[in-house]
């Protein structure tokens, strides 16, 4: 991919590295086949290739991020499946991280967006608070249909749509707290062959603790000691 950064821009190490990464992209589109957001939404801007074009344009112009750029970069799950299929070895991870930093530094998100992000940032790292939020969500779930479907403010419409989607996603039943939740070590059955660390995850230990429990059982039965981090 041809780039048009000025010599002054390239004195910034981050921009210089982004330039190197961008120039590796050959527009082949192999990444689109493994990108879950492109496969689901079908929008080129929600593919790694499309996001690379958006990032290139934003960085070359040294311009504040727009609502469109922020929306399509935000949709990236950072699963990095695209990097496994890229024949040119484009370091998409660094590129999208740099773009996100630029977005946070130059783009003022709508109030509803900032509020929602603030709540999630407070809840997700705290399993206790997250569990209580799920309990409240279960109580409020029947009211989801009463939330406004439209709003004169586009930001408000987005907020209500997201809130309704989150309430719809609240499970009808929550599993009780799991013994695997707290930091501890599970000894391997028989002779220990290996030792691994298991991250409980921010949401999984509340929404699907049985996955972590099954993982521990499987690993210990195969002679692997598991350290819950």
Hunting for tokens 């819950």 — which residue is that? 228
Beta strands in the chain, from DSSP E residues, in sequence order = 184-186, 194-198, 224-228
- Asked if 22 and 67 sit in the same domain, the reply is yes
Percentages helix, strand, coil for the chain, rounded to the nearest 5? 60, 5, 35
- Asked if 42 and 78 sit in the same domain, the reply is yes
Model confidence pLDDT, tens digit, residues 142-178: 888 787 766 555 555 677 788 888 888 888 888 898 9
Q: Which two tokens stand for residue 82?
A: 């695209």
Model confidence pLDDT, tens digit, residues 38-58: 999 999 999 999 999 999 999
Nearest to 226 by CA among 192, 197, 200, 191: 197
- Asked if 68 and 96 sit in the same domain, the reply is yes
93: helix, strand or coil: helix
**Residue 36 pLDDT > 70:** yes
Would residue 197 count as lying in a domain? Answer: yes
- Asked if 77 and 30 sit in the same domain, the reply is yes
Nearest to 88 by CA among 24, 17, 22, 3: 24
Q: What is d(CA 52, CA 25) in angstroms, rounded to the nearest whole number?
A: 9
What is the pLDDT confidence band of residue 5, given thresholds at 50, 70 and 90?
very high
What's the domain range around 209?
184-228
Would residue 175 count as lying in a domain? Answer: no
- Asked if 198 and 140 sit in the same domain, the reply is no
- Asked if 188 and 215 sit in the same domain, the reply is yes
Would residue 4 count as lying in a domain? Answer: no
Number of alpha carbons in the 13 Å side-chain half-sphere of residue 208: 6
- Asked if 128 and 143 sit in the same domain, the reply is yes
- Asked if 131 and 145 sit in the same domain, the reply is yes
Model confidence pLDDT, tens digit, residues 98-131: 999 999 999 999 888 888 889 889 998 898 899 9
Would residue 26 count as lying in a domain? Answer: yes
Would residue 122 count as lying in a domain? Answer: yes
Would residue 86 count as lying in a domain? Answer: yes
- Asked if 50 and 132 sit in the same domain, the reply is no
Q: What is the CA angle 23-25-31, rounded to 5? A: 160
Contacting residues for 204 by C-beta, under 8 A, at least 6 apart = 211, 212
Q: What is d(CA 176, CA 213) in angstroms, rounded to the nearest whole number?
A: 12
- Asked if 122 and 102 sit in the same domain, the reply is no
Which CATH number does the domain housing residue 39 bear?
1.10.1060.10
Q: What is d(CA 124, CA 209) in angstroms, rounded to the nearest whole number?
A: 15
Q: Which two tokens stand for residue 79?
A: 């699963």
Please tell me the total count of domains within the chain.
3
pLDDT of residue 192: 94
Single out the residue in 76, 91, 106 at which a domain terminates.
Answer: 106
pLDDT of residue 154: 53
- Asked if 159 and 119 sit in the same domain, the reply is yes
Model confidence pLDDT, tens digit, residues 175-227: 898 989 889 999 999 999 999 999 988 888 999 999 999 999 999 999 999 99
Would residue 142 count as lying in a domain? Answer: yes
Number of alpha carbons in the 13 Å side-chain half-sphere of residue 188: 14
Contacting residues for 14 by C-beta, under 8 A, at least 6 apart = 98, 101
- Asked if 15 and 89 sit in the same domain, the reply is yes
Would residue 223 count as lying in a domain? Answer: yes
């Amino acid at each position: 991919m041809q780039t048009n950064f000025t010599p002054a821009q390239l004195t910034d190490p981050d921009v210089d590295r982004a330039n190197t990464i961008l120039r590796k992209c050959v527009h082949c589109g192999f990444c689109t086949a493994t990108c879950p957001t492109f496969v689901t939404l079908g929008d080129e801007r929600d593919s790694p290739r499309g996001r690379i074009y958006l990032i290139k344009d934003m960085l070359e112009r040294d311009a504040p991020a727009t609502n469109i750029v922020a929306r399509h970069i935000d949709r990236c799950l950072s699963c990095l499946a695209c990097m496994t299929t890229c024949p040119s070895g484009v370091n998409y991870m660094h590129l999208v991280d740099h773009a996100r930093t630029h977005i946070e530094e130059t783009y003022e998100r709508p109030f509803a967006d900032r509020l929602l992000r603030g709540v999630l940032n407070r809840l997700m790292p705290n399993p206790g608070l997250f569990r209580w939020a799920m309990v409240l969500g279960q109580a409020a779930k029947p009211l989801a249909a009463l939330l406004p479907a439209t709003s004169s403010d586009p930001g408000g419409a987005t907020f209500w749509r997201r809130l309704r989607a989150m309430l719809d996603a609240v499970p009808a039943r929550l599993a009780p707290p799991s013994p695997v939740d707290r930091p501890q070590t599970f000894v391997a059955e028989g002779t220990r062959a290996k030792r691994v660390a298991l991250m409980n995850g921010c949401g999984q230990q509340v929404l699907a603790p049985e996955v972590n429990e099954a993982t521990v059982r499987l690993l210990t039965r195969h002679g692997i000691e598991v350290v819950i981090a």
